[in-house]
Structure 1
Amino acid sequence: MSAAEELYEKWKSQFRKGFLELCVLELLSKSGRSYGLAIMEQLNNAGVDVTEGTLYPLLMRMTKDESIEAQWETPDVGHPRKYYVISSTGSALLGQMREEYERSAAARRTIMTGGHAE
């Protein structure tokens, strides 16, 4: 692996950490509630490649941070599932994250156009 490829992989890892959290909050904000496998499928279908080994520790941390809430449910048929919902803290955080994401994207566009705001 070249030096540029190694640097890219490090950058991508850092970028994805915050972006993945934003995407999980967006999904839960839209769906109301979901379980881990469904969240992973939605992310992958949207082009955000994520594995169980990445998603479940993130969901655990987000639950601990209280940006999401989790509750086990046992259906009449099938296995128990842990469902996640966005909390009021998570909703406030999502609003701030959206603003920062848009601000950062706008700054990048400005830089790309030679310093002239679009």
Structure 2
Amino acid sequence: MNKEFIDKWHSQVKKGTLSFIVLIVLDKNELYGYDLIEKIRNQTSIEIAEGTLYPLVNRLKTDKLLDSKWVEQETGIPRKYYFLTKTGKQTLEEMKVQWKNLQKLITKLM
């Protein structure tokens, strides 16, 4: 086994699916950044740094898949919550179809 190759491949797969993962998690929840990182970590064991998450959610906002709103807290500073737009929900549904098709093809090959 070529561990270096596997590690690079795993990193690329993770990067390539991170947008999909963020959209899936936000499909049912409005979350602020840290909470989004924690939810992904807890449900997938994927470690996401803030320096990775915030540029990603900004790209998803630019693509009109996410929006955000500031929510005042009883104590502390306001938090920016992210949520899927209508276009984001439609895009996620198409991504799920594409993912299932890809999964079938790979399973068939294996």
TM-score tier, shorter chain, comes to: 0.7 to 0.9
Unpaired runs of 5+ residues, structure 2, are none
Cα RMSD, aligned residues only: 1.7
Amino acid at match of 1:37: Y
- Rounded Cα–Cα distance in structure 2 between residues aligned with 1:107 and 1:49: 28
The alpha carbon displacement at 1:66 in A equals 0.9
The residue number in structure 2 matching 1:42 is: 39
Amino acid at match of 2:97: E
- Rounded Cα–Cα distance in structure 2 between residues aligned with 1:54 and 1:5: 24
Equivalent of residue 15 in structure 2, options 9, 14, 17:
17
The residue number in structure 2 matching 1:115 is: none
Unpaired runs of 5+ residues, structure 1, are 113-118
Q: TM-score, normalised by structure 1?
A: 0.83
- Rounded Cα–Cα distance in structure 2 between residues aligned with 1:18 and 1:91: 19
The alpha carbon displacement at 1:92 in A equals 1.0
Percent identical among aligned pairs is: 34
User: How many residues of Structure 1 are paired with residues of Structure 2 in the alignment?
Assistant: 109
Q: TM-score, normalised by structure 2?
A: 0.88
**Secondary structure in 2 matching 1:48:** coil
